[in-house]
Amino acid sequence: MERRKVLLLGLAAAAALLVSTLVVGSMAGENRACPAMGWAFVGDVELSFSTPPESVSACFGEGCTPQPLTKNAEGKWLVPQSPPYLTPPVSITSIYVDARTSSGKRLTRALAIEAESTGEYPFGRECGGPFRFKPVQVVPA
């Protein structure tokens, strides 16, 4: 009889421990390990002008030499992340723009490139996800 009491007490203690662990674990939320990877955006950087330019040159990286651009079929100024606009290794955080207006004014400036989420979170919101660059606003000083 004594042996049975010890066994029942042991089972009761194990059940209480299991229930406590489940309750505390569910209150703590989901503990997730995010994959060891980063997200890169390799698409074009769009330049958006407040005053339409006649010509535009641009490049990525400090001390780079701006290269001429042409508008795409939709009338957008897009800078590809490839040579001659990009000479690796460069971290894409800013772009150097040299633009000329029809009146002959010249605008040369290094501008920050901002990123935004695509809204996709393949591994959960807490792990982050892919991003894209916002259009870079080019306005006269």
Which tens digit of pLDDT belongs to each residue from 12-40? Answer: 555 555 545 444 444 455 556 888 877 88
**Token couple for 1:** 């009889």
Is 116 found in the same domain as 62? yes
Is 27 found in the same domain as 49? no
Give the residue among 130, 126, 41 at the shortest CA–CA distance from 80: 41
User: How far, in Å, CA of 85 to CA of 75, rounded?
Assistant: 19
Is 76 found in the same domain as 19? no
Is 125 found in the same domain as 84? yes
Is 52 found in the same domain as 26? no
pLDDT for 127 beyond 70: yes
Ranking 18-22, 50-54, 94-98, 134-138 by mean pLDDT, the lowest is: 18-22
* Identity at 114, one-letter amino acid code: E
Half-sphere exposure of 12 (CA within 13 A, CB side): 6
Within a domain: residue 36?
A: no
Within a domain: residue 72?
A: yes
pLDDT at position 49: 93
Q: Which residues form the domain of 78?
A: 45-138
User: How far, in Å, CA of 93 to CA of 110, rounded?
Assistant: 10
Report how many domains make up the chain.
Answer: 2
pLDDT per residue over 81-123, tens digit each?
999 999 887 788 999 999 998 888 899 999 999 998 888 888 8
Can you give the three-state secondary structure of 69-127, one letter per residue?
Answer: CCCCCCCCEEECCCCCCCCCCCCCCEEEEEEECCCCCEEEEEEECCEEECCCCCCCHHH
Of 23 and 134, the structure prediction assigns the larger pLDDT to 134
In terms of pTM, does the model score above 0.75?
no
pLDDT for 48 beyond 70: yes
